[in-house]
Amino acid sequence: MTYYCTIKKEGDEYIAQFPDMTNIVTCGFSHEEALAMAKEALDGCLEADIAQGNAIPPSVCKDGYPVTVAPHIALSLRLRELRGEQSQTDIARKLGLSYQSYQRLENPRKANPTVKTLERIAGVYGRELSISM
């Protein structure tokens, strides 16, 4: 999962913003530092928004510099997307997990699924688990 940021120089600083995530603005004293700060700000904002149950805007803009979302955050977002209108309780039941165990999977601050759990989740959604490195 990738969001794109724009970076522009203003005075002595480089300002990084995400057109798709208007609540994120950060800066650095170099282009590279601004890009690193953008990654940190994006991950932090997404993690907080997920934990608070806020809606996450999709990545639509393709202009600027690509910033990849941390895998544990991307997994939580993907699980929410796959679940759609189904309740966490329904999915937990299909997986043979407690509601609380499934709820942790959708929380990037608490999730730490095993590969076996990911395989079971993929099966519930009729998908194949693919891991690329």
- pLDDT at 92 > cutoff 70: yes
Point out which residues pair with 25 in neighbouring strands.
Answer: 17
The residue with greater pLDDT, 12 or 111, is 12
Residue-level pLDDT at 8:
96
**Mind listing the pLDDT tens digit for each residue in 78-90?**
898 899 999 999 9
The residue with greater pLDDT, 78 or 129, is 78
Residue 107: other Cβ atoms inside 10 A: 14
Does the structural domain 71-124 have CATH classification 1.20.120? Answer: no
- pLDDT at 94 > cutoff 70: yes
Cα(82)–Cα(93) distance, integer angstroms: 15
| Cβ pair 59, 3 in contact under 8 A | yes
Give the Å distances, CA to CA, from 96 to 40, 75, 76, 114, 116: 35, 19, 19, 15, 13
Average pLDDT, the chain: 92
CA angle 111, 116, 117 (to 5 degrees): 40
Question: Which ranges in the chain are annotated with CATH 1.10.260?
Answer: 71-124
Produce one character per residue of 11-37: b if its CB has 16 or more CB atoms within 10 Å, e if not.
Answer: eeebbbbbbbbeebebbbeeeeebbeb
Residue-level pLDDT at 133:
64
Question: Which ranges in the chain are annotated with CATH 3.30.160.250?
Answer: 2-68
**Mind listing the pLDDT tens digit for each residue in 6-56?**
999 999 999 999 999 989 999 999 999 999 999 999 999 999 998 888 889
Residue-level pLDDT at 55:
87
Q: Tell which CATH classification among 3.30.160.250, 3.40.1350.10, 3.90.1150.10, 3.40.1390.10 matches the domain 2-68.
A: 3.30.160.250
